[in-house]
Amino acid sequence: MGTDRTEIDGSLIKNAFLLFDKMSELQKKLPVAYAVFQMILNENGDGAADAKYLYANDRYCHGIGYTRDELVGNLVTETYKGESRELLDYGYQAAFYREEAHHTTYSKELNHWIEFIIAPTNIEGCCIVVSTFIDDSHLERELLRRNSTTDDAIVRITRLLNQDENFERTMDMVLNEISLVVHPSRLDILTFDGVSVNYQFEWCADGVSSKRDKTKSISYDTYFSNWKNYANHGDVVQIEDIKVLEKQDNEIYLFFKSLGVERIIAAPFYDNHHNLLGFLCAENYETNEEIDTLKLIESISYFIAFRIRNHHLLQLLDYRATHDELTGLRNRRVFGERLKELSKGNDEYGIFYIDLNFFKNANDQYGHHVGNEVLMETSRRLERASGFEVFRIGGDEFAILVDEALDEEDYIKIVHVMNEYFEKPVVENKDFSINISISVGYARAPYDSRIPNELRKIADMRMYEQKKMMHKLILDEQANTNKSSQE
On whether both 310 and 350 belong to a single domain, the answer is no
Q: In terms of residue numbers, what domain contains 236?
A: 152-319
Same domain, 220 and 115: no
467, 357 Cβ separation under 8 angstroms: yes
What is the domain-level CATH number for residue 45?
3.30.450.20
- Helices (H) and strands (E) in the chain — how many of each? 16, 18
Confidence at residue 398, expressed as pLDDT on a 0 to 100 scale: 97
> From the CB of residue 67, how many other CB atoms can be counted at a distance below 10 Å?
11
Q: Alpha helix (H) ranges present in 323-451?
A: 332-345, 359-366, 368-386, 408-421
Look at residue 217 and give its three-state secondary structure.
Answer: strand
Is residue 10 one of the residues assigned to a domain? no
pLDDT at 214 > cutoff 90: no
Same domain, 364 and 425: yes
Q: Say whether pLDDT at 186 is over 70.
A: yes
Q: How many domains does the chain have?
A: 3
Q: Could you give the CA distance from residue 309 to residue 439 in angstroms, rounded to a whole number?
A: 44
- Quick check: is 165 in a domain? yes
Residues 452 and 408 occupy one common structural domain = yes
Q: What pLDDT, on the 0 to 100 scale, is given for residue 405?
A: 92
Q: What would the mean pLDDT of 193-207 be, rounded to a whole number?
A: 87
Query: Domain boundary at 113, 144, 175, which?
Result: 144
pLDDT at 375: 94
Q: What is the pLDDT of residue 348?
A: 94
H or E stretch at 192: strand 186-192
Distances (CA, A) of 320 to 146, 315, 335, 400, 419: 48, 9, 14, 20, 30
For residue 392, what are the contacts with CB-CB under 8 A and spacing of at least 6? 324, 326, 327, 329, 330, 331, 332, 375, 379, 398
Buried b (16+ CB within 10 A) or exposed e, 12-29: bbebbbebbbebbeebee
Does 79 fall in a domain?
yes
Enter the DSSP assignment of 285: P
DSSP sequence for 40-63? EE-TTSSSEEEEEEEEE-HHHHHH
The more confident residue out of 30 and 394 is: 394
Does residue 4 lie within any of the structural domains?
A: no
How many residues in the chain?
Answer: 487
189 and 40 both lie in a single domain? no
Q: What is the pLDDT of residues 251-265, one digit of tens each?
A: 888 888 888 899 999
End position of a domain, from candidates 144, 179, 209: 144
38 and 180 in a single domain? The answer is no
Do 308 and 185 share a structural domain?
yes
What is the CATH number for 344?
Answer: 3.30.70.270
Same domain membership, residue 387 and residue 427? yes
pLDDT at 152: 80
Based on the fold, state whether residues 160 and 305 are members of the same structural domain.
yes
Longest CA–CA span in the chain (Å) reads 110
Please name which of 362, 417, 359 lies closest in space to residue 392, comparing C-alpha atoms: 359
Name the domain boundary from 319, 341, 361: 319
Q: pLDDT by residue (tens digit) across 83-134?
A: 678 889 899 999 999 998 887 776 766 666 677 889 998 888 999 998 876 5
The model's pTM: 0.54
Same domain as 307, residue 174: yes
Residues 206 and 313 in one domain: yes
> pLDDT tens digits, residue range 439-481?
999 999 999 999 999 999 999 999 999 988 887 777 666 656 5
Whether residues 115 and 179 share a domain: the answer is no
As a dihedral over the C-alpha atoms of residue 322, residue 327, residue 328, residue 331, rounded to 10 degrees, the angle is: -20
